[in-house]
Amino acid sequence: MFGLEYLENYVGEITFFERLRSIMEFSLVIKRSAGNGLLVHTPNPSFNSHRQLLIPLLLEKHEGRSKPWLDGKRKAQREAELLSQTLGIGLLEHIRNTLLDASEGKQRASQVGHTDYDMNYVYSTVQGVQALQAKLQATEDEDEQRALEEDITGKILQFYLCGIYTEVDQLLPKVVDHIRNGLDSKMIPKDRIRSTLREITDMIKGTRRMDMDHDTAHLWRIMFDSGAGVSKHVLWLAARDAEQAMRLRCSGGSSVLSTQATAPSMSAGVSSTSTVQQALGPGDGGL
């Protein structure tokens, strides 16, 4: 769904989903804590340079072995194209910008020494999802149910994306250090280190972006709307109230409404709730 398998060439293995259960368990501490801004410190994401294709081959290029690098570059470009078809498409530009900053000697403020998850954010997300689920169970209107399902799905996907971004921000400095250490050990000048980082960023920039399929594009829009603070349920309620008001005006002020007004139907798209449940998988805990 997020194309994490295509990120290994750039940042190594993403283990956010493996740690998701423990993150959710830590969020329960908030219920018994009066403190604010509580953070949970989890172990640093593991960076294994031997599992990555791109960086070791790039180092080989500087030793005069260009064919392995060219073969690896083609493979990495293809995987970047595949990543652009997933919900993780924004990670490509994020990685490129971070490496570009590193090539210019800049350090992003978000890159700290450990992976911190704001437990207030985690717990507020859980509470928000639970509140929406309660509304979903209480209504029998299919359009309202669909709006609530999209809000629930959007919150969960946005939570996942934030966790993945946090981990990527932890791994990228290790990638940069690995490149620098590798080139330093070969007595390669610093300007070559900068050019090496730029070569990776240019490769990402030049990668062809591919169209998402219908289901993925629908989920991306739901996730994007959630991140922008757009609630489909709030929009549905507003549309319902506007229609009720219009009917009252048209009837001269006398109530001719049925007991349940019909708000404009929302596009079903894909089954949002079932998609998220499939992404969670059995035993992953969920929100």
Q: Residues 53-65: pLDDT tens digits?
A: 566 666 566 566 6
Q: Per residue in 52-78, is it b (16+ CB within 10 Å) or e — as a string?
A: bbbbbbbbbbbeeeeeebeebbeebbe
User: By the 8 A CB rule, do 264 and 147 touch?
Assistant: no
Under the banding of pLDDT at 50, 70 and 90, the label for residue 112 is very low
Task: Tell me the mean pLDDT in the region 250-274.
Answer: 53
Other C-beta atoms lying within 10 Å of the C-beta of residue 110: 11
Burial readout 184-193 (b: 16 or more C-beta within 10 A, e: otherwise):
eeeebeeeeb
pLDDT at 183: 63
Dihedral sign for Cα atoms in the order 148, 222, 76, 78: positive
For residue 196, give both structure tokens. 């090496």
Q: Bigger pLDDT: 200 or 130? A: 130
What end-to-end distance do the CA atoms of the chain give, in Å?
17
* Cβ-contact 249, 256 below 8 angstroms: no
What is the pLDDT averaged over residues 113-118?
Answer: 48
Report residue 247's pLDDT band, with 50, 70 and 90 as the boundaries: confident
More reliable by pLDDT, 153 or 185? 153
Between the alpha carbon of residue 91 and those of residues 51, 151, 172, the distances in Å are: 19, 23, 12
pLDDT at residue 113 is higher than 70: no
Report the percent of the chain where pLDDT is more than 70.
64
The reported pLDDT for the residue numbered 115 is 40
- CA quadruple 230, 236, 241, 245: dihedral, nearest 10: 110
What mean pLDDT is reported for the chain? Answer: 76
| Residue (of 83, 233, 208) closest to 154 by Cα position | 233
219/122: higher pLDDT:
219
pLDDT at 141: 94
Q: Give the pTM.
A: 0.75
Q: Is the pLDDT at 261 greater than 50, yes or no?
A: no
Residue 211 has pLDDT above 50, yes or no: yes
